[in-house]
Structures are given as C-alpha cells and as structure tokens.
C-alpha cells in the first residue's frame, strides 16, 4: 500500500465517523453509532499498517506521516473520552480536527518516501514519536474542554475534572515521549539532553503544563488558570510544527 491509496481510506473512514456521530445524536440506541466510529478507526489503522508494510519502515519520518497518526489518535482519544464521559461534542470536535489534518495531507502531502537514515533506525523511534502524538491529541482535547469550561464558569465547574484528567494524561504521555527521546539521544548522539532547538521547545511546553498542574493544586482562581491551557497549547504547536521556521532553530538535529 502507498500514499496514492490514502484518499479512498481517508474518505471512507471520515464517512463512517460522520455517520456514526449523526447516529449518536439522532438515535436512541447509541451502539450503532459507536460501531460506525469504531469501524472507521479500524479502517484508518489498516491503511497505516499497510503503509508501514509497503514502505518497509514505520511511517513516522515526515511531517505528513506524523499528521497521519494525529488524524487517527485524535479520534481514538475522542472516542474513549466519549465512552467514559459521554460528551458527544468532544467526539464531534475530534472528527473535525482529524478531518482538517486529513485534508492537509491530501492537499499538501509532505510525504516523500525517503530512506531512513541510520540514526533513526532505533527501537526508540516508534514509541518516542507515537507517544508524543498521542499526548498532542490529549492536550488538544484538553484545550477545547478548557474553552468550554471557561464559557460556563459563572454557573458551574462540572467540566473541570475532565480538563484536569485530560491534562494529567496528556502530560504523562508528553513526559514519556520526552524521556524516551532522552534515552534514545544518549544511544544515538552521546548526550541525553543537548538543548537542541526542538528540545528547548519541548522543555518550554512541558514547563507550561507543569505550571498549570501546580497552580491548580495551589487553588489559584480558575478564571486565570484555565487560560494557561490555550497558551501552553500554542507553545506545543510551536514545538511540533513551528520550530523549523524559527531563526534560533537553524541546524536542529530534528528533521520534523
């Protein structure tokens, strides 16, 4: 399988997800909608697995390929959070974000299949990148939930536990991604931390979420605390996508 098959899988999966979402809203029995969404997840995963086999290495090297995983993980996160907390809007939001990333990949595919350079042939490569993308998906969901929570802050705080949960889980994945990256860097480059631009920004992002976690524990006013999440998410997006465009980042060892 290769990228030219993507369009069919993408549209089929998106259709399953959207139909599933409509069913969740329209029909009393929710299980049909859930089955549709699950089927879409399965189909999308089949494409990724096929691409992996077709290329002979995991599709994790280019920005386009990481977007592919993000499209999948945001749906999985949305789906499981929906199953647990029953927020249909979160499911809908996940599908929207996933669709955006799918369309970016269709219109601007930065997906040139290239050979994997020796330093990337490591057992840490796959867990490092997938865990990071999983955490981006969680923290993206946390940001949206934070906006929703801000809107109803005057009347109630029922969304706060959801926000905190998403931040804790997302931050847990973020730390795991960073720490596995450190072990890998020691194996590949001789140093577990070298303040490479991408590392600097990963550090900034992690610090921003630590500030949120600790200022929540202190009980500072929610009004201000919740604003930390969109700010932290902007820093996260800079880490992920923006770093390569920064003047301070010329000569980074990270290729995406």
Contact positions vs ligand HEM (CB under 6 A): 175, 210, 213-214, 217-218
Among 32, 46, 83, 183, binds another protein (CB under 8 A): 183
Q: Which is nearer to another protein, 35 or 83 (CB)?
A: 83
Q: Is 50 in the site for another protein (CB under 8 A)?
A: no
Angle between helices 31-55 and 63-85 (to 10 degrees): 160
User: Distance from first CA to last CA of the chain, Å, rounded?
Assistant: 24
Among 1, 96, 104, 176, binds another protein (CB under 8 A): 176
CA distance linking residue 79 with residue 27, whole number of Å: 17
Q: Is 150 in the site for another protein (CB under 8 A)?
A: no
Q: Is 215 in the site for another protein (CB under 8 A)?
A: yes
Spell out the residues 6+ positions from residue 86 whose beta carbon is closer than 8 angstroms to its own: none
Token code pair at residue 55: 């290329």
| C-beta neighbour count of 82 within 10 angstroms | 22
Instruction: Give yes or no for a contact between 8 and 96, defined as CB atoms under 8 angstroms apart.
Output: no
CA distance linking residue 4 with residue 154, whole number of Å: 50
Q: Is 224 in the site for another protein (CB under 8 A)?
A: no
193 binds, among ligand HEM, another protein, none (CB under 5 to 8 A by kind): another protein
Q: Which is nearer to ligand HEM, 25 or 193 (CB)?
A: 193
Q: What radius of gyration, in Å, describes the C-alpha atoms of the chain?
A: 19
Quote the least distance from Cβ 222 to ligand HEM, whole Å: 16
CA distance linking residue 248 with residue 196, whole number of Å: 10
Report the 3 state secondary structure along 215-248. Answer: HHHHCCCHHHHCCHHHHHHHHHHHHHHHHHHCHH
203 binds, among ligand HEM, another protein, none (CB under 5 to 8 A by kind): another protein
Closest alpha carbon to 99 in 124, 71, 67, 65? 71
Q: How far is CA 158 from CA 184, 215, 251, in A?
A: 41, 19, 46
Q: Is 175 in the site for another protein (CB under 8 A)?
A: yes
Q: In the window 86-145, what residues touch another protein (CB under 8 A)?
A: 115, 117-119, 121-122
Quote the least distance from Cβ 152 to ligand HEM, whole Å: 26
Among 197, 226, 236, 240, binds another protein (CB under 8 A): 197
208 binds, among another protein, ligand HEM, none (CB under 5 to 8 A by kind): another protein
Token code pair at residue 33: 């909608």
Q: Is 19 in the site for another protein (CB under 8 A)?
A: no
Quote the least distance from Cβ 160 to ligand HEM, whole Å: 16
Catalog residues that contact another protein under the rule CB under 8 A. 115, 117-119, 121-122, 161, 163-165, 167-169, 171-173, 175-176, 179-180, 182-183, 186-193, 195, 197, 200-201, 203-204, 207-208, 210-211, 213-218, 220, 246-250
């Amino acid at each position: 399988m290769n990228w030219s098959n993507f369009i069919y899988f993408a549209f089929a999966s998106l259709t399953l997800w959207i139909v599933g979402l409509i069913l969740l809203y329209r029909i009393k029995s929710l299980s049909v909608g859930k089955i549709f969404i699950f089927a879409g997840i399965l189909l999308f995963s089949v494409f990724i697995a096929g691409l992996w086999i077709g290329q002979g290495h995991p599709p994790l090297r280019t920005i386009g390929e990481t977007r592919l995983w993000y499209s999948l993980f945001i749906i999985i996160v949305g789906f499981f959070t929906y199953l647990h907390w029953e927020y249909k809007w979160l499911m809908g939001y996940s599908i929207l974000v996933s669709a955006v990333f799918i369309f970016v990949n269709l219109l601007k595919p930065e997906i040139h299949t290239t050979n994997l350079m020796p330093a990337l042939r490591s057992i840490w490569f796959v867990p490092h990148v997938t865990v990071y993308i999983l955490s981006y998906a969680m923290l993206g969901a946390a940001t949206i939930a934070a906006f929703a929570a801000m809107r109803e802050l005057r009347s109630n705080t029922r969304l706060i536990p959801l926000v905190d949960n998403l931040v804790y889980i997302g931050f847990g994945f973020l730390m795991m991604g960073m720490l596995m990256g450190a072990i890998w860097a020691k194996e590949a480059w001789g140093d577990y931390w070298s303040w490479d631009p991408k590392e600097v920004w990963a550090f900034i992002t992690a610090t921003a979420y630590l500030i949120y976690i600790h200022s929540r524990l202190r009980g500072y006013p929610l009004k201000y605390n919740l604003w930390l999440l969109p700010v932290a998410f902007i820093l996260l997006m800079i880490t992920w996508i923006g770093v390569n465009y920064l003047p301070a980042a010329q000569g980074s060892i990270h290729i995406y």
